[in-house]
Each structure stands twice: as C-alpha cells, then as structure tokens.
Amino acid sequence: MAKFSAIIKSLRIERGITQEQLAALLKVSRSTIGMYETGSREPDFETLEAIADIFNVDMDYLMGRSTVERKDPVAATPIPAGFQPLPKRDRIPRVGQIACGTPILAEENVEAYDEVPSDWHADFTLLCQGDSMEPKIKDGDVVAIHSQPMVENGEVAAVLIDGEATLKRVFLFDDHIELRAENPTFPTILRIGEDMNTITIEGKAVGLCRKL
C-alpha cells in the first residue's frame, strides 16, 4: 500500500491544486504541505479529516489502508477566491551540456526533468545561465522549447553553436545569420556565408518558469 505522503501528493496533483492552495484550505503554511508530501511530518487527526474532506476520499484510503477512494465525485473541491486549478502539465527533459555530435535530446544530454503546461507544446527545457537575455529571460530561469528547425525573424530560440546550446533572438538573412542578445551590453553573434552552417536552430522558446 502507498504511504500517506505519496497519496496526498498524488491527490493534490490529480485535482489540480497547488501546495499554496491546499495550505490555504487547511490554514497551514506551504512548507507544512511540503513536509507532508516528503514524509518528514504527519498531520494530526483533525487535519487528516480536513484533508479527506477536501479530496472527498475515505480516511482509510488517505492513510493507505484501502484502495477504494469514494463513490462521490470530486468536481466540487473548494478553491479559495483568486486561485485557479493548475493546467494539465507535461514532464519533459531538461537539456544540460551538449555532448559534441549527439542530438540535443540524447540521453547523455538530459540532466533533469521539468513539468510545464501542456498547451505550451514544449519538447525540452534549458536552464538559462547568465544575463545576456535580461530583462526578458533572467539567470536561473527554466525556458521551455518547442523543437523546430526554423523560427521567424526576431523570435527567441534555442540554438547550437559549436556544440553549446544557448538562447538568442534569431535574425536570418540570405547571406548571414545574427544571434542577438536581449541585453544590449552583449555583442551580436554573426555568421556569414558557409559559417552559417556552424549554427543549428533547435527550437522556439515558448515559455519560462521562474522562482519567486
């Protein structure tokens, strides 16, 4: 049987409720919900009853003593004013340092996984390092990429330059390509003629996740 920590996390995600929303419903801190989900802390009986009511499940199911939730639907789960359920999400690979000559999504290039909204249609993520794309994209942002070999001029894209993945605003012309940083203190990367072949467009930036 599953443990309480795994069950509450699974229920929360299935119902589209964030840790912050559940904390508000239970009148506890978000970190307390985090501890419930990691198993480092367990709620008292009164709180367990409140959790069972929120998710409309029996206590035995919540505590892992039964595999039967409850017949009643959960559509009426209360959400505090000002909150919305999380959208459907996809788990996609985060690409780290690129192994020379290997596809960007090769196993050796994947260093972690991130969950992003499904309607972004993202295929992988990149961790932005440095401030070349500020203020639009900041150091530490996780940027979601939709794989595609071309982008419109002026769009932000993930590109490979000499085996290294980077984010830049792309401008493609008949005889040269320009990769421009958002931060004006960084020089434009320019490739002319045959040197354009040293740059590969891997995809378009479709969203980002940022720590508060």
**Ranges of each domain in the chain:** 4-62, 117-209
Q: How far is CA 144 from the centre of its chain?
A: 7
Q: Is the pTM of this model over 0.75?
A: no
- Among candidate residues 29, 118, 168, 204, the one labeled active-site is 168
Q: How many CB atoms lie within 10 A of CB 79?
A: 16
- Among candidate residues 3, 5, 132, 204, the one labeled active-site is 132
Query: Which segments of the chain are extended strands (E)?
Result: 89-95, 110-117, 124-127, 142-147, 156-161, 164-172, 176-180, 189-192, 199-209
Q: Which residues contact 134 (CB under 8 A, 6 or more apart)?
A: 182, 183
**pLDDT digit string, tens, across residues 140-185:** 899 999 999 999 999 999 999 877 788 999 999 999 999 999 999 9
Length of the chain as a residue count: 212
CATH architecture of structural domain 4-62:
Orthogonal Bundle (1.10)
Helices (H), 3-139: 4-14, 19-26, 30-38, 45-55, 59-62
Are 5 and 38 contacting, i.e. CB atoms less than 8 angstroms apart?
Answer: yes
pLDDT of residue 74: 46
Just give the CATH number of 117-209: 2.10.109.10
- Whether 132 sits among the annotated catalytic residues: the reply is yes
pLDDT of residue 183: 93
**pLDDT digit string, tens, across residues 71-82:** 554 444 566 667
- pLDDT tens, per residue, the chain with 212 residues: 578 999 999 898 888 888 988 988 898 999 999 999 999 999 999 999 999 988 888 888 888 888 888 755 444 456 666 766 667 888 889 887 666 667 787 777 788 888 899 999 999 999 888 899 999 899 889 999 999 999 999 999 999 987 778 899 999 999 999 999 999 999 999 999 999 998 999 999 999 988 76
